[in-house]
Amino acid sequence: MLEIKNLHANIDGKEILKGVNLTIPTGEIHAIMGPNGSGKSTLSNVITGHPAYEVTQGSITYNGKDLLEMEPYERAHAGILMSFQYPVEIPGVTMVNFLRTALNARRAAQGQQPLSASEFLKLIREKQKIVEMASEFSSRHVNVGFSGGEKKRNEIFQMLVLQPTLAVLDETDSGLDVDALRIVAQGINTMRGKDFSAIIITHYQRLLELAKPNYVHVLLGGKIVKSGGPDLALELDKKGYDWIKEEAES
Ligand SMILES: Nc1ncnc2c1ncn2[C@@H]1O[C@H](COP(=O)(O)OP(=O)(O)O)[C@@H](O)[C@H]1O
Ligand SMILES: [Mg+2]
């Protein structure tokens, strides 16, 4: 379970998160929606431990551990994975090496043996099928020359290989065509289960229709101002955020 209490965070001395409260029980998928600039990416960066953000108040615990006391790699070893809104290119590092290193580092941290080359290859092939990626992708350098849609699908592929227990997906659906959107949803649905939780940050109801969340939260001005079931996403899609702003101000 992820528990965020009264979280305040700054970037460059400017307060962006102003008291976020959010609890995600293990096994549940929660969506976070909200206008541009409301703090969604800030929240995901703070959960995964981006060093540019300063937490000034509040707490984040994950399965009882104080996340704010942990380095980003320790959070990854604890099963947390973030899919970036803008995936980075890593020239010189192939997908295979990147994923094998990441996976075996976590296995080592959890006292497991590294996967053998053939076990790893088998795993890669199996997961590539789910995201409908050609096998040549694994020998290419991370995200280099990938199209926007391929980068996003690649984020989902990484999730499937690394099998996090908590995934934070920051606008993984933005800019995708219908087929890529379906593939992203398929990847999320493959992960669904009693040991997996996810935060899906999105502007669109469409992904949530295909990968149904347990709850939808609205982040506005650095706070969660409204929560509801999947129908809330539909309502936001139709009505926008003005009515929520009015509700929040009254
Ligand atoms: N490095 C930075 N320096 C100053 N302000 C920043 C920086 N990064 C983000 N912000 C500001 O923080 C606010 C929240 O940004 P962000 O978390 O990216 O919002 P969202 O993901 O909801 O669109 C925005 O007003 C943005 O301009
Ligand atoms: Mg963002």
Structure tokens at 121: 């290859």
Residue in 15, 20, 42 to alter for ligand 1 test, most ligand atoms within 8 A of Cβ: 42
Residue 19's pLDDT is what?
A: 98
Helix (H) or strand (E) holding 192: none
Q: Ligand 2 mean position to 96 CA, how many Å?
A: 28
Helices (H) and strands (E) in the chain, counts: 9, 12
Q: Ligand 1 mean position to 103 CA, how many Å?
A: 31
Residue 95 to residues 3, 11, 138, 142: CA-CA distances in angstroms? Answer: 33, 31, 5, 5
Q: What is the CA radius of gyration of the chain?
A: 18
Q: Ligand 1 mean position to 37 CA, how many Å?
A: 6
Which ligand has the shortest distance to the CA of 33?
1
Answer whether 33's CB lies under 8 Å from 216's CB.
yes
Which ligand has the shortest distance to the CA of 43?
1
DSSP state of 163: -
Residue 29's pLDDT is what?
A: 98
Instruction: Report the distance separating Cα 25 and Cα 164, nearest Å.
Output: 15
Residue 8's pLDDT is what?
A: 98
**Positions in the chain short of pLDDT 50:** none
Residues at CB less than 6 angstroms from ligand 1: 11-12, 14, 16, 34, 36-42
CA atoms within 13 A on the CB side of 223: 9
Question: Which residue, judged by its Cα, is nearest atom 18 of ligand 1?
Answer: 41
The gap between the terminal CA atoms of the chain, to the nearest Å, is 32
Instruction: Report the distance separating Cα 184 and Cα 181, nearest Å.
Output: 5
Structure tokens at 206: 């469409």
pLDDT tens sequence across 133-175? 888 888 899 999 998 889 989 999 999 999 999 999 999 888 8
> Dihedral through CA 144, CA 147, CA 153, CA 157, nearest 10?
-20
Which ligand has the shortest distance to the CA of 85?
2
Helix (H) or strand (E) holding 220: strand 215-220
Instruction: Report the distance separating Cα 156 and Cα 56, nearest Å.
Output: 32
